[in-house]
């Protein structure tokens, strides 16, 4: 299963799709990228005259790439084209270190900690284009085909 196939199975669409591409994919982990569009609606109010990407959106981006895309890849034999995965985020613990500004490209790197009984737990990190750590944490969820 390649990057394009995985992204096509995601149950998200614009404006709530936070995956542009996946560059490394294995059953042990995944790496992907997303560029936050300058015209995205939440920048108008977060924060006044100093727009930054909300932490909940950064967490969602990390979950989409680091958990959902990886889960689809791990369960690839159970998926057929146009199948929508059933996903439930069960927990996240994320620490934030740097802001993400409109137009900024981020890289998400996820390493599988455990996958058992359709529950996936990952260690996920997000970096900016300079390679600086933006945030990191553990994200868990249930994924079924």
Residue keyed to tokens 């890289």: 107
Three-state secondary structure call for residue 108: strand
Does residue 46 have an active-site annotation? Answer: yes
How far apart are the C-alpha atoms of 68 and 26, rounded to whole Å? 13
Q: What is the pLDDT of residues 21-60, one digit of tens each?
A: 999 999 999 999 999 999 999 998 899 899 999 999 999 9
Q: What is the pLDDT of residues 97-131, one digit of tens each?
A: 999 999 999 999 999 999 999 999 999 999 999 99
- Name the active-site residue from 17, 20, 46, 107: 46
pTM to 2 decimals?
0.95
- Cβ atoms within 10 Å, residue 117: 6
């Amino acid at each position: 299963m390649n990057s394009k196939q995985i992204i096509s199975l995601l149950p998200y669409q614009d404006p709530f799709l936070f995956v542009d591409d996946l560059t490394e994919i294995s059953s042990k982990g995944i790496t992907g990228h997303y560029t936050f569009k300058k015209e995205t609606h939440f920048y108008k109010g977060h924060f006044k005259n100093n727009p930054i990407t909300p932490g909940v959106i950064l967490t969602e981006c990390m979950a989409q790439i680091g958990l959902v895309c990886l889960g689809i890849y791990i369960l690839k034999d159970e998926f057929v084209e146009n199948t929508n995965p059933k996903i439930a985020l069960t927990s996240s613990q994320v620490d934030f270190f740097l802001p993400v500004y409109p137009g900024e490209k981020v890289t998400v790197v996820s390493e599988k900690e455990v996958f058992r009984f359709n529950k996936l737990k990952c260690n996920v990190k997000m970096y900016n284009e300079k390679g600086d750590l933006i945030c990191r944490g553990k994200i868990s969820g249930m994924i079924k085909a």
